[in-house]
Amino acid sequence: MPRPLTRKLDENVEYLKELLGVGVSFDIGVREFNIKNVRIALFYCNSLNDNYAIIMLIKELLLLGEDDVYLNKHAFQIIHNHLALHQVSIADDLDQMATAILSGLIVILVEDELKGFMLDTRRYPGRNPEEPETEKVVRGSRDGFTENIIINLGLLRRRIRDPLFRCELYKVGSLSQTDVCLLYIDNLVDQDILKTIRSRLKTIDVEELVMADKQLEELLTHKSWNPYPKVRYTERPDTLAVHLYDGLIGIMVDTSPSVMIAPTTYLEQLQHVEEYRHTPIIGSFLRFARTGGILVSLFLVPTWMLFVYEPRLLPDYLKFIGPREIGTIPIIIQIILGEIGIEFLRMAAIHTPTAMSTALGIVAGVLIGQIAIQVGLFSPEVVLYIAVSAIGAYATPNYELGLANKLAKLFIVVTTYFFRLWGLVGGIILYVLFLAFNTSFGKPYLYPLLPFNLKDFLHIFIRTSQSNKKRKKS
């Protein structure tokens, strides 16, 4: 329930002091003084405010003086006219003001007034925009989103100067009051999908959103055990701008450098910004190569395992496929252990200091693998095909999609082991059906393959010239 202001300044000040823990939390402060013979109170959070702006604001107010008794009835308007800041809003709810103070705004209460001022002097701590580690390009911009939503919006505004670009702000989390920004271009976006996302944002009922975008994704998509991402993530402002011009929607969460793009499909997540930094023919080649790598990461290992267990399926010119040395562990166990070992290596590289991660990769990838082959635990071909499959997985532009594909590959490996040829075929069919029955905010996950749209399907795999790209405006 809202807590309205009263005409007694002391009551309003005491309520905010108790609510915010003034005197306990050292960075929450209050300053009281007289302006035009009227008492005012100024609340601030110096860990989130621009201290220089606070000093200049107080100086400007003090220059008004304490005299002019006959003007005290107009003190509120006089103070309003002398607030030398670009963003000043008026509120009448103390709880709303408390949230504003904790968001980095200054709140000014005036005696005998049922309204107060909220001034934006935020200066959030954070790092400078840097190129994202997972979305590097040979040529192109080197800036990336940070954990500061204001800086992120500025990076996007530099690229989108369309007057119909919209950025709606929401507060999510009854306790954390996390800022969530909905980004879209009004005449390009699908209004039905926009309404769906808006309604879901407004109905989210959680106390905190500390885990930022990933926690919000689960709340928006209602996803539980489905490993495949229903939104696409990016840390590049140019990538987000392109998708907004394609009519998609961005969801930006404060404290996170990743921005969600919705809706998305399986095939759209195979694209990468690097393709647009080259000529159309080279960009198309990169797309085909990347798609081939992803197919290899999914189907190479189960197909090879089928030929190991059913060598009669091999034509004569492929009889060389198959292990010369089986090893002491069954092939299926070798494959599963190898896939888990690759994940161990990936997780260890993430948590290892940068100066040591290269050495770790060499030791784990070469030394341990070679020793495992020499002692007879692993077949050399198992190590080879798992390594090639891992390289194909790392070629996947979307990190979440790569992990989901790994689980799908293990599923197909298990069905192939138990049912041989029918297991491989059935596993692939079940995998495709699983994707076909998925949607992202109502959009089919396998579009434009299912339902089939030839023009959009060709656009996914062939990088067309930018001069031929037209966007529909309503």
- pLDDT above 60: residue 443: yes
Cis peptide before 129 (omega within 30 of 0): no
Query: At 158, phi and psi to the nearest 5?
Result: -65, -25
Whether residue 29 lies inside any domain: the answer is: yes
Q: Which of 215, 216, 260, 217 is nearest to 240 (CA)?
A: 260
Three-class secondary structure assignment of 85-109: CCCEEEECEHHHHHHHHHCCEEEEE
Whether residue 429 lies inside any domain: the answer is: yes
Whether residue 460 lies inside any domain: the answer is: no
Three-class secondary structure assignment of 356-389: HHHHHHHHHHHHHHHHHHHCCCCCHHHHHHHHHH
- pLDDT at res. 471: 56
Domain match, 224 and 256 both: yes
Domain match, 183 and 92 both: no
Domain end among 120, 137, 160:
120
- pLDDT above 90: residue 198: yes
- pLDDT at res. 474: 44
Q: Is residue 81 a contact partner of residue 63, using CB atoms and an 8 Å limit?
A: no
- pLDDT at res. 109: 93
Task: Read off the tokens for 178.
Answer: 């996390």
For the chain, what percent of residues have pLDDT higher than 90? Answer: 33
- pLDDT at res. 361: 63
Residue matched to tokens 């989108």: 160
Domain match, 226 and 88 both: no
Average pLDDT over residues 240-258: 92
- pLDDT above 80: residue 240: yes
Average pLDDT over residues 371-379: 76
Question: At CA 226, angle to CA 241 and CA 450, rounded to 5?
Answer: 65
Whether residue 463 lies inside any domain: the answer is: no
Q: Is residue 386 a contact partner of residue 301, using CB atoms and an 8 Å limit?
A: yes
Whether residue 245 lies inside any domain: the answer is: yes
Average pLDDT over residues 16-41: 88
Domain end among 244, 264, 284:
264
Give the range of the structural domain holding residue 186, as residue numbers without chain letter: 149-264
More confident residue, 141 or 165: 165
Q: Is residue 115 a contact partner of residue 104, using CB atoms and an 8 Å limit?
A: no
| pLDDT tier for residue 177 given thresholds of 50, 70 and 90 | confident
Type of residue numbered 81: N
Q: What's the count of helices (H) and strands (E) in the chain, helices before strands? A: 15, 12
Task: Read off the tokens for 324.
Answer: 């010369």
**Mean pLDDT across the chain, nearest whole number?**
85
- pLDDT above 90: residue 183: yes
Domain match, 109 and 163 both: no
| pLDDT tier for residue 124 given thresholds of 50, 70 and 90 | confident
Compute CA distances 248 → 63, 138, 168, 396, whole Å. 50, 26, 15, 21
Domain match, 289 and 399 both: yes
- pLDDT at res. 125: 75
Whether residue 66 lies inside any domain: the answer is: yes
Beta carbons within 10 angstroms of residue 119's beta carbon: 23
**Number of folded domains in the chain?**
3
CA 364 to chain centre: 31
Domain match, 106 and 195 both: no
Residues constituting the chain: 474
- pLDDT above 60: residue 71: no
Cα 412 from Cα 428, distance rounded (Å): 7
Average pLDDT over residues 427-438: 94
* Per-position DSSP letters for 429-471, written without gaps between them: HHHHHHHHT-EETTEETTTTTTTT-HHHHHHHHS---GGG---
Domain match, 318 and 228 both: no
Domain match, 282 and 311 both: yes
Cα 377 from Cα 339, distance rounded (Å): 15
Q: Is residue 324 a contact partner of residue 313, using CB atoms and an 8 Å limit?
A: no
Average pLDDT over residues 229-254: 92
To which H or E segment does residue 197 belong? helix 191-203
Domain match, 29 and 102 both: yes
- pLDDT above 60: residue 468: no
Domain match, 259 and 178 both: yes
Residue matched to tokens 């049912």: 419
Cα 334 from Cα 293, distance rounded (Å): 22
- pLDDT at res. 91: 92
Whether residue 4 lies inside any domain: the answer is: no
Whether residue 135 lies inside any domain: the answer is: no
- Of 123-127, 145-149, 159-163, 281-285, least confident by mean pLDDT is 123-127
Domain match, 258 and 285 both: no
pLDDT, tens digit (0-9, with 9 covering 90-100), for 321-347: 877 666 678 889 988 988 888 888 777
pLDDT, tens digit (0-9, with 9 covering 90-100), for 402-418: 889 999 999 999 999 99
Question: At CA 339, angle to CA 317 and CA 299, rounded to 5?
Answer: 40
Domain match, 257 and 342 both: no
| pLDDT tier for residue 302 given thresholds of 50, 70 and 90 | very high
